[in-house]
């Protein structure tokens, strides 16, 4: 995938501040510090488009990044939003902020007409944890998007570079088993945001969901 342009568009902390639904959107969710920002930067082929931090819970709103991409030279480019969702789990934010995320997340995941896919990122070494399972269950059971195109759920097991090649198959099998318990029957996509491994396959799935 060739990224022709990539830029931060806006951050939304309530439904009214969401950008107009003009482009297909792929949202990225995961536990705080799972490597979400690193993976999104790798997909965007930019070093610091999406801010990374060692402090859990840095992302406290929905951040929209507009990308224009082309799968191969001569192919018609396409545009989309990558949407960085607030990290969950041990995020160090106030109770008020946590409460404020609920309605926004419910409205965005359940009613956003241009949301085409949600990518749930898990650490391949830790597998599917409770919060991941809850989000998988919510998305696979369906939402209130009665008139909208169904959301494709992409499960990504990141940090492949942190384990040996011999450990990868059993680690991905554990991710698959954990996802099945949450009602998700697809296979995880193994990636590394640090090396870019697996991002071509992920881009292929994203493009199919968008177009």
Task: Confirm if 136 and 179 have CB atoms less than 8 A apart.
Answer: yes
Could you say which DSSP state residue 195 is in?
T
Least confident of 2-11, 66-75, 112-121, 166-175: 66-75
User: CA 178, CA 176: separation in Å to the nearest integer?
Assistant: 5
Residue 143, pLDDT > 70, answer no
Q: What is the predicted pLDDT for the residue at 91? A: 47
User: CA 122, CA 4: separation in Å to the nearest integer?
Assistant: 28
Range of the domain at 148: 2-210
Task: Confirm if 87 and 57 have CB atoms less than 8 A apart.
Answer: yes
User: First vs last Cα of the chain: how many Å apart?
Assistant: 15
Residue 209, pLDDT > 50, answer yes
Q: What is the predicted pLDDT for the residue at 107? A: 87
Could you say which DSSP state residue 186 is in?
S
Classified as helix, coil or strand, 36 is helix
pLDDT-based confidence at 149, cuts 50/70/90?
low
Write out pLDDT tens, residues 50-66. 986 555 555 578 999 99
User: CA 207, CA 26: separation in Å to the nearest integer?
Assistant: 10
Task: Confirm if 53 and 60 have CB atoms less than 8 A apart.
Answer: no
User: CA 4, CA 56: separation in Å to the nearest integer?
Assistant: 31
CATH of the domain at 113: 3.40.50.300
Model confidence, pTM: 0.89
Instruction: Give me the percent of the chain exceeding a pLDDT of 90.
Output: 66
Write out pLDDT tens, residues 17-40. 999 999 999 999 998 889 999 999
Domain count, the chain: 1
pLDDT-based confidence at 110, cuts 50/70/90?
confident
Least confident of 16-20, 101-105, 186-190: 101-105
Classified as helix, coil or strand, 4 is strand
């Amino acid at each position: 995938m060739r990224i022709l342009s990539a830029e931060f568009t806006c951050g939304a902390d309530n439904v009214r501040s969401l950008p107009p639904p003009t482009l297909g959107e792929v949202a990225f969710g995961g536990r705080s510090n799972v490597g979400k920002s690193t993976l999104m930067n790798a997909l965007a082929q930019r070093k610091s488009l999406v801010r990374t931090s060692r402090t859990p819970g840095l992302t406290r709103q929905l951040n929209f990044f507009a990308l224009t991409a082309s799968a191969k030279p001569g192919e018609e480019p396409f545009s989309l939003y990558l949407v960085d969702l607030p990290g969950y789990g041990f995020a160090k934010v106030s109770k008020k902020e946590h409460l404020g995320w609920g309605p926004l997340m419910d409205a965005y995941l359940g009613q956003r007409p241009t949301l085409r896919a949600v990518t749930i990122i898990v650490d391949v070494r830790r597998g599917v944890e409770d919060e991941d399972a809850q989000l998988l269950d919510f998305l696979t059971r369906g939402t209130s998007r009665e008139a909208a195109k169904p959301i494709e759920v992409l499960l990504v097991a990141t940090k492949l570079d942190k384990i040996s090649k011999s450990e990868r198959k059993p680690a991905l099998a554990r991710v698959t088993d954990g996802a099945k318990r949450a009602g998700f029957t697809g296979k995880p996509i193994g990636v590394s945001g640090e090396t870019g491994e697996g991002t071509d396959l992920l881009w292929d799935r994203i493009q199919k969901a968008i177009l």
